[in-house]
Amino acid sequence: MTIELLRFTTAGSVDDGKSTLIGRMLYDTKSLFEDQIEQIEAVSAKRGDEYVDLALFTDGLRAEREQKITIDVAYRYFATPRRKFIIADTPGHIQYTRNMVTGASTAELAIVLIDARKGVLTQSKRHGFIATLLQIPHIVVAINKMDLVDYDEDTYRAIVSDYRDFVSKLNAKNVTYIPVSALVGDNVVDPSQNTPWYEGPTLLHHLENVNVGASRNYTDFRFPVQYVLRPNQNFRGYAGQLASGRVRPGDEVVVFPSGLESTIKEVVTANGNLEEAIAGDSVVLTLNDEIDISRGDMIVRTGNLPQKSNELDATICWMGEDPFDPSKTYQLQHTTRVVRAMVTELTYRIDVDTMHRTPAEVLKLNEIGRVQLTTTQPLFYDRYNTNRASGSFVLIDPATNNTVAAGMIRGESRDVDDLMEGETKADDTATRRERSENVVWEAGALDLAERERLNGHKGAVLWFTGLSGSGKSTIAKLLERRLYERKIHTMFLDGDNLRHGLNGDLGFAPEDRVENIRRVSEVASLGYAHGNVVLCSFISPYQRDRNFARSIVPDGNFFEIFAKCDLEVLKRRDPKGLYAKALSGEIKNFTGISAPYEAPEQPELVIETDVATPEQLVDQLIEMLETAGII
Amino acid sequence: MKSYLQSHLKQLESEAIYVMREVAAQFENPVLLFSGGKDSIVMAHLAYKAFYPAKIPYPLLHVDTGHNFDETIAFRDKYVEKIDAKLIVRYVQNSIDNGTAVEETGPYASRNGLQTITLLEALNEFKFEAALGGARRDEEKARSKERFFSHRDAFGQWDPKNQRPELWNIYNGQKKPKESFRVFPISNWTELDVWMYVQQEGIELPNLYFSHQRDVIKRDGVLLAASDVVYPVGDETIETMTVRFRTIGDMTCTGAVESPAATIEDIVDEVASARVTERGARADDQRSEAAMEDRKKQGYF
């Protein structure tokens, strides 16, 4: 039987019993050795402890053993017949956010400890926030010291309820709650007789059965070249580890930054050539063409490209002793590539305890913020939340060579005004929102909240994007009918309609398309401000235009919906005969044929119009709106 | 749906190979420390795989205390020839002769501590910027916080308070002149992982690891092999026992365990159910409770 590997992180404060919990897991799974146990017994006795302090198994360095606190990330190992576990044991107190981020960066599961006597504290939230920020796919909330609250079910339920309220704001996915006592051993390895009201798994059972590999991306092939092997004139191989995706001989690939194309010749390992390599494999690739490739280059599949930019929007955790210095140039290490980078703007700081965003001039040790970066050479990246491996980086201070920040890429750089609440200005030069001079915004007599109260639902903008004929308008109209039946106020904006009036002066050249979308976005925003659910159906091929539409509606009220349909299906369907004309050249600048279409990077919903029926898709949309609390 | 789960050994191997390649790419002059013990043999095996079909782009360095088992040295030379690697050997005896190291005297004398001196001298002599070692975090508590890329100051010293955070698999090997790194590609392996990997890969090991008859002396609960440098003191006696070694280091401090395990399969079973850590059989760690931490600050692995 294959033994699987699960890396998890633990966070909790000095008193939550985190070290004891780990000690308990090691002890109960018989992962400790007699000499280790004897050593700990001796130390405990010397210190005058009444019982053998299980926490001593994990408190590594002498300094912290003396101070009785863990001060750095320590790695622990234990195994059961099913799985090997690597624990990144991180301290929980405020000054060590950096350690928590470090431990979380490689983890697939986080255990957040809560002291049952104290309930949900600020730091329990901080741990959840960091776990979510680092995209750890599984969170376990271990409610510890149940023995000290007499295994009271209500106490447990109240804490679960409090924490649920909190994580609902976070976008956290799989959260599991387990009542335990690390000291006594309840529900850690063995089910407890003391919690008959609890029917869930023990902690170890959960760790042994939770889905692993969930944080890996097996779709997008990204191969950062680590090292070039050239043992002789006949062999030129590129050594590296697949950051994500899969690769097989014969695959068509493109190499960045050169942009040169080739095909995979072999996937070489010392154990023989492979039929396929997958995310996480360390292999050597050879290509069928002689291309100049060196360390730091990235090999990807043709047709599935990473983002490319030298202006990045990112969340960083500052880890340096010296605060971030805006006048300084840092080294940025991303996959196997190192470039120089300037932090051009500190957009805001996130208070890890309240999650509030505040404007800031500086980021200090253990602080997290959103920044805009400019690099000397473009990076080839994916967003962190779609690809941890190609969306992460560190900043290095060239003066000390220390790693001073951990970064997670959100996307291409945006302007601060675009991101701060209350401000509504887009960065793109193409769709800059300009204000006429001497015009002051007239505050409406009624505000949005009043309108929403009257309507009984919230306002929203649903932006349907997709190729011509992909079913955007069909679905949007069906949806509008369903919403009407539920007495929901709607507005429907569609490309063809608006081009007859408001946008009658615009053609299909790129700049006209941009202006078209700018006007539509403004109209949608007005409709939203009046409490409507605005349905917009536009091909809108450029991401930046859709980003603009998004930027003028508050977060959580804008839904980008990608009507996805195979191009070949569209060409066959071609209800208006447009594809035929485009293919024959009769229509110029036709999206998908002779003009580009940028598929949404992060749509709220993808509706596959060539797979599901319109009714099914409308059901999905209704569910999305209900989940988001709009209707 | 197709499962993409990889076994834990495959993931550990891939991680180690990744780290070994990072070292080759980030440093101009690295070296792989090789003692002839199982961990360093596994390291050499991984290095061979990391750069296949090319040769390992760095040399192997062995710090010989002069108190090694003959089997270790014979195995070392044969193995290095087999994988076509370059081997450098430096001797603790030379450091003693040059007066840079002072030999302990008496029946309990060990050259283990002196290895650090010879190692630092060798790193200095060849101006190695990074030394790859086979240390693992599960071996001892002080190692549990060790980084993959462990920074050492210009004197080869480790400062536990001043280690760089390591995030994801991004390793920062930037340094000032004269500073160096110790790099531990198999940090995340346990003793059992090493043995399972040896089994999986069919890696050859010195016979010392397998059960055999040997004359031993029991000292402070540790079975030491009787030899010119380890002899009975007081009421100690030499006994012939069926033993094997779980680690192979300097004869003066590497203890054997009583064991009938004669094959890799036996050993994997034995290690899986072992009740004493492998370092528990090393006399050098028992000198004080924080022994490892002290030695590490001085530049020991």
B31 CB contacts (<8 Å, ≥6 apart)?
B58, B59, B60, B61, B88, B123, B126, B128, B130, B131, B132
Give the tens place of pLDDT for each residue, A406-440: 999 998 875 444 434 333 333 333 333 444 444 44
CB pair distance less than 8 Å for B165 and A77: no
CATH, domain A4-209, list 3.40.50.1220, 2.60.120.560, 3.40.50.300, 3.30.40.10: 3.40.50.300
Q: Rg for chain A (alpha carbons), in Å?
A: 28
Which 3 state secondary structure label does DSSP give B88? Answer: strand
> Distance from B98 to chain A by nearest Cα, in Å?
35
Give the tens place of pLDDT for each residue, B2-35: 445 678 999 999 999 999 999 999 999 999 999 8
CB pair distance less than 8 Å for B167 and A279: no
Q: With a cut of 70, list the residues of chain A below it in pLDDT.
A: 1, 13-14, 33, 49-52, 57-71, 92-95, 214, 414-445
Q: A222-301 is classed in which CATH architecture?
A: Beta Barrel (2.40)
pLDDT at res. A69: 44
Distances from the Cα of A118 to the Cα of A122, A144, A186, B196, B291, angstroms: 11, 10, 19, 44, 39
CA distance B301 to B297: 9
CB pair distance less than 8 Å for A33 and B50: no
What is the sign, positive or negative, of the torsion defined by CA atoms of A613, A617, A622, A623? Answer: positive
Query: What is the dotted CATH code of the domain comprising A448-627?
Result: 3.40.50.300
CB pair distance less than 8 Å for B167 and A406: yes
Chain A residues close to B193, C-beta within 8 Å: 84
Nearest partner of A6 among A230, A297, A165, A210, judged by Cα: A210
> Which amino acid, one-letter code, is at B151?
H
Nearest neighbour of B164 by CB, restricted to A235, A241, A403: A403
Give the tens place of pLDDT for each residue, B143-186: 778 899 999 888 878 776 677 899 999 999 999 988 999 999 99
Nearest neighbour of B188 by CB, restricted to A42, A58, A86: A86
> Distance from A583 to chain B by nearest Cα, in Å?
37
Q: Rg for chain B (alpha carbons), in Å?
A: 19
> What domains can you pick out in chain B, each with its CATH number?
8-193+290-297 (3.40.50.620), 205-286 (no CATH)
CATH number 3.40.50.10490 given to A307-413:
no
CA distance A452 to A533: 11
A340 CB contacts (<8 Å, ≥6 apart)?
A329, A330, A331, A332, A375, A376
pLDDT at res. B143: 77
Nearest neighbour of B168 by CB, restricted to A105, A231, A271: A105
What is the domain partition of chain A in residue ranges?
Answer: 4-209, 222-301, 307-413, 448-627
- Three-state SS across A185-207? CECCCECCCCCCCCCCCCHHHHH
Nearest neighbour of B144 by CB, restricted to A74, A101, A218: A74
CB pair distance less than 8 Å for B293 and A62: yes
CA distance A164 to A161: 5
CB pair distance less than 8 Å for B167 and A218: no
A540 in catalytic set: yes
Q: Does the fold of domain A307-413 match that of domain A4-209?
A: no
pLDDT at res. B160: 67
pLDDT at res. A95: 58
pLDDT at res. B188: 95
Catalytic pick among A124, A192, A392, A540: A540
Best to test chain A binding among B148, B166, B167 (most A CBs inside 10 Å): B167
Give the number of other Cβ atoms within 10 Å of residue A170's Cβ: 16
> Distance from A72 to chain B by nearest Cα, in Å?
7
Q: Which long-range contacts (CB under 8 A, 24 or more apart) does A583-591 make?
A: A588/A508, A589/A508, A589/A509, A589/A510, A590/A468, A591/A467, A591/A468, A591/A539, A591/A541
Q: Model confidence at B278, in pLDDT bands (50, 70, 90)?
A: low
For residue B97, the surrounding DSSP H or E stretch is helix B92-97
